[in-house]
Chain A
């Protein structure tokens, strides 16, 4: 290989310790950022499709007036390249051989579901299968509970109206099932073509025609534009709803991943900066020699620029080689949890930040010290020249800091995140300056001696510039790692608090007013007390301050509340997890006013004092808004947009009652008894949904732990980079100390102490700065309450002290194993 080409080869570079650190830092940066970005984009897509599968489509059109929509509406959708499907929902009695039961029928077309899958079982006890099509004509799938209620088996026939259908399977879960309180259980699923023959649906029957649409977002939008003018009030166009149960969990996980990615970027940047500065210093002799051999400044600049380019390529390739299998593994885990295939897709938009990170890290951090190599005087070959002062590096640092924060901004798209991290860093550097001053003041008077402590303190003082700059890097690294650990801890605690062990997992709906007390007693006797029972009245919001609400509310786009019937209730006390953000909760004997959920109020622009008119059946009720409150939609308890006081205008309306409660799996048989005793009450079982959410949270937690491990690896690389930067000096010093008669044990103890002190100070600084950053972040990103995290905070300085002491000991190895004279000559 030609010598000059060899000078340029990666293999040769790899033999140099500093280059290895630069390359490792680059690879970790690219790997972390790419994995996180790919996984985050996967989560995003999963989020959308999961939410879509709650509708079994991207959009639904419901006709609540009991009439199908005109056929040309569907033709138009198909013309616009949209997939369509249809279903008919109604309640009716079905008959087995001996028993009968009120069921909720869902009759579906061949296309159902357009999104998501149906989970079904051929026989009780057989494995569950995921299928993309409902039962064929002539067949039904039924809720497993119906087997017992009707005393039938799979293969028996079931009479629906005038039609005999064969039970061919058990319906375990429908993709659009779980969450709609209007749905009635238990469920029977049949084919839509059989509906006519049952003759159940007569003029005036309560039946809902639902149409499914799926396709490109733009086509859906333009179709809705076309459709909207023709819709009647009984038509409801539904998209993916906000506040769906676990979308928030996933969104927070995504925020966390983005934060993790940003921190990885910063850590890697620090590692690249430290290592390349060190590399540049070690290259000065080579550059001086090349200059005496006649290479010009420009030639030197080009040589190193090419080398940087090579590193960039190697770092990016190596990083991707780590990231892709890791991402594959993560998406496998995700698809296991979701029990469906997730597409393994290499989103180029997600890869771009990773490559950009490599580029910025190289050119903002590695290039400046290397560029200055051009100015190394040739005279250096004869006599070493004064080293560069820190002053010329200052503008580079400003550029680099701006670059990395720009990168974080671009990456996480969140100014407050950037500001929180910047603030934490500023605090850290300020404290560090103070600490440096104190160190000079307090350690100045200590002189060396045979004592390890004194030697350690003298060491800190004599190398105060190096000590402080090392401390800055360690503290910064620890701050970033601690920030992530803290956020992770509070995130997990938050999730656990969100779905505790006894989260209600069953809803009882359609309770007639005169049954309320009996049902309460029924469950009380069986040791499963009900949560609060709420009355529920269905009504539409139709007027605001005397005007029709569609005219009064200008930003009505996407406001589902105007399109569908709302569940209205009355209650005397505010539910524990609701919070008043404006106005006052009802006074004890107050009978007027209405309390509105905060997000809806925000979207509709409602204020305390506005007068709302509700249409309930043929009646109208008008009340002023007296309070606005937040609601925990994912609490698994009945939640209401609109709450009235007891004794108000709502009490005169026909109401049914609703409640939720926790029923452990072992007691599920009590449901059969309950259903026989109260056949008109609908039971909504959401235990499997809760289980699913808990699974997802657990798996996402594992993904987060994996990311955390990656970040901590990056932190260790940074530490190694910094420590190795002083390797030669330390070794020479150690050798000298030994030449002058210092004992090995003294050398070991004083070095370990010096590093331990460095680690301890850096740890304390880093943790304090991390708490400050988390304090700022908690408000914006994770909506939590701030508290000190002693259990997390205390171990970090101790840990960093121990790790650094071991690093120090490790550095001394060569000093202890060979004769000092030999070492001095080798290090010359």
Chain B
């Protein structure tokens, strides 16, 4: 499903070159949930960007659902994202001028789905915001905004969902509720989940965990742990 081999990413600075990722390889199967854990500056966000095709690596390949995305053009990657990838961001990234409903409708409309309003409404009801359809992000709390973002992420029926610190901007309780929702939806839809976090508890809810430190990826305990029921 997602196959990464020997991924290296470097950034040129004025005086020298900074290596952010070094020889990263991993393979993720369809329907798996994976957490990548690391401290700030360890390279985990860069890795997520490369996996999702938001950026291209200096070396190595990323193969997503059969397509080598590191070899695709920006436009081809955009098409791939529109059809198969969903995102949840730490800072929600909702468009402030659109209502909750309109934010969720956006990817559906971009994908040419007929009557996008219906599906968007269903999804918002599913995440518990059926009463807040016409509120703009500014009128919603952080947890509510992230729930809208989750609804939007699942709107296009992605095969893989990337989440970047999805609870990073939320308090513990809200974070817990949001991660419950994310996991539940992931299970219902059979989506592959790749999540970057520094929250060990959240990471443990995923089937596999990777550590990343100074740009090097490792999988400490290769054991399949069933998700605890919360």
List residues of A whose CB falls within 8 A of some B CB.
1-4, 6-7, 12, 15-16, 285-286, 289-298, 377-379, 381-383, 828
Contact = CB atoms under 8 A, between A and B. Distances in A.
B74 A293 contact: no
B164 A292 contact: no
B78 A378 contact: yes
B106 A293 contact: yes
Chain B contact patch, size range: 35 or more
Interface in B93-116: 93, 95, 97-98, 101-103, 105-107, 109-111, 116
A822 to B, nearest CB: 14
Contacts of A289: 93, 95
A332 to B, nearest CB: 43
Interface string B70-104: 00001101111111010101010101011001110
A15 B78 contact: no
Given A293-B81, A382-B164, A828-B91, 19 more contacts: A2-B109, A3-B105, A6-B97, A7-B106, A12-B97, A285-B93, A291-B54, A291-B74, A292-B87, A293-B106, A293-B107, A294-B80, A295-B78, A295-B110, A378-B54, A382-B45, A382-B54, A383-B45, A383-B49
A296 B97 CA distance: 22
Contacts, number: 92
B112 to A, nearest CB: 11
Output the residue of B55, B78, B156 with the most chain A CB within 10 A: B78
A6 B98 contact: yes
Interface of B: 45-46, 48-49, 52-55, 74-75, 77-83, 85, 87, 89, 91, 93, 95, 97-98, 101-103, 105-107, 109-111, 116, 156, 164
B109 A4 contact: yes
Contact of B102 (A6, A295, A379): A6
A387 to B, nearest CB: 16
A382 B49 contact: yes
A378 B93 CA distance: 13
A286 B55 contact: no
A2 B105 contact: yes
Nearest to A377: B55
B49 A379 contact: yes
B78 to A, nearest CB: 5
Contact of B95 (A286, A377, A382): A286
B87 A381 contact: yes
B109 A298 contact: no
* Top 4 A-B residue pairs of the complex, sorted by shortest distance between their CB atoms: A294-B82, A3-B102, A379-B55, A296-B75
A377 B52 CA distance: 13
B74 A297 contact: yes
Given A3-B98, A3-B102, A12-B97, A293 B110 contact: yes
30 contacts: A1-B102, A3-B102, A3-B105, A3-B116, A4-B109, A12-B97, A15-B97, A16-B97, A285-B93, A286-B95, A289-B95, A291-B54, A291-B78, A292-B52, A292-B81, A293-B81, A293-B82, A293-B106, A294-B80, A295-B82, A296-B75, A296-B78, A297-B78, A298-B75, A378-B55, A379-B49, A379-B55, A381-B93, A382-B48, A383-B45
A279 B120 CA distance: 29
Nearest to A4: B109
Contacts of A1: 102
A294 B107 contact: yes
B120 to A, nearest CB: 9
B79 A296 contact: yes
A7 to B, nearest CB: 7
A291 B82 CA distance: 9
Nearest to A1: B102
A612 B183 CA distance: 108
Most chain A Cβ neighbours within 10 Å, of B48, B83, B101, B105: B105
Contacts of A7: 95, 98, 106
A377 B50 CA distance: 12
B102 A292 contact: no
Contacts of B156: 293-294
Max chain B CB contacts within 10 Å: which of A15, A16, A383?
A383
Nearest to B120: A3
A69 to B, nearest CB: 77
A289 B75 CA distance: 14
A72 B95 CA distance: 82
B74 to A, nearest CB: 6
A283 to B, nearest CB: 11
Nearest to B94: A289
Given A377-B55, A381-B54, A294 B110 contact: yes
Given A3-B102, A289-B95, A382-B89, A297 B75 contact: yes
A279 to B, nearest CB: 13
A4 B103 CA distance: 9
Nearest to A15: B97
Nearest to B111: A294
A13 to B, nearest CB: 9
B83 A294 contact: yes
B47 to A, nearest CB: 10
Contacts of B93: 285, 289, 381
Nearest to A293: B107
Contact of B54 (A292, A295, A828): A292
A17 to B, nearest CB: 12
A296 B87 CA distance: 17
B78 A377 contact: no
A249 B105 CA distance: 63
Nearest to B87: A292
A4 B113 CA distance: 12
B98 A379 contact: no
A222 B53 CA distance: 76
A16 B95 CA distance: 13
A377 B54 contact: yes
A644 B169 CA distance: 97
A340 to B, nearest CB: 54
Contacts of A286: 95
A12 B102 CA distance: 13
A4 B97 CA distance: 12
Contacts of B116: 2-3
A378 B46 CA distance: 12
B135 to A, nearest CB: 14
Nearest to B196: A382
A621 to B, nearest CB: 87
A350 B159 CA distance: 59
Given A286-B95, A293-B107, A381 B78 contact: no
A292 B55 CA distance: 11
B79 A294 contact: yes
